[in-house]
Amino acid sequence: MSHVFLSVIDALPDGAAAGFDAEVNGEQVPLLALRRGAEVRVFHNVCPHAGRRLEVAPGRFIIDAGTVMCAAHGACFTIPAGDCIAGPCRGQRLREVPSEVRDGALWVDAGR
Ligand code: FES
């Protein structure tokens, strides 16, 4: 299994979201890292409602009350679990990419 380096953990503020592009399974895809304390999880940056990216502008996410909000129609996803708790896709979740924190750095599983 190979991994792709995403970020130094110190560059991801607690309670925030950060966007990255990375090659997963041979394809360049937009990813979203969500951090709460020491826990960081990585997801495809694709809203389950209508398939849009979540951010307002490149790298700018709407964070509100422990959630990241999709800029398109307002779906709210918990940080860091990625569960939708409000909006048009309530009950669904962001699609997770296996990741790990190792020696202060965030890595994602690059797949094949
Ligand atoms: S595309 Fe995200 S709420 Fe509609």
In degrees and rounded to multiples of 5, residue 89 shows phi and psi of -120, 30
Tens place of pLDDT per residue across the chain (112 aa): 688 898 888 889 999 999 999 999 999 999 999 999 989 999 999 999 999 999 999 889 999 999 999 999 999 999 999 999 999 999 999 999 999 999 999 999 988 7
Widest Cα–Cα separation across the chain: 38
Asked if residue 47 has its Cβ within 6 Å of ligand 1, the reply is yes
What's the pLDDT score for residue 1? 61
Distance CA 112, CA 54 (A): 26
Position 59 scores a pLDDT of 85
| pLDDT of amino acid 72 | 98
Nearest CA residue ID for atom 3, ligand 1: 73
Question: What is the residue extent of each domain of the chain?
Answer: 3-109
**Ligand 1 touching residue 75 (CB < 6 A):** yes
Decide if 97 contacts 44 (C-beta within 8 A).
yes
Instruction: With CA atoms as reference, report the closest residue to 98 among 40, 42, 25, 45.
Output: 42
Q: What is the structure's pLDDT at 98? A: 95
DSSP state at residue 11: G
CATH code reported for the domain at 3-109:
2.102.10.10
The residues pairing with 16 across neighbouring beta strands, listed in sequence order, are none
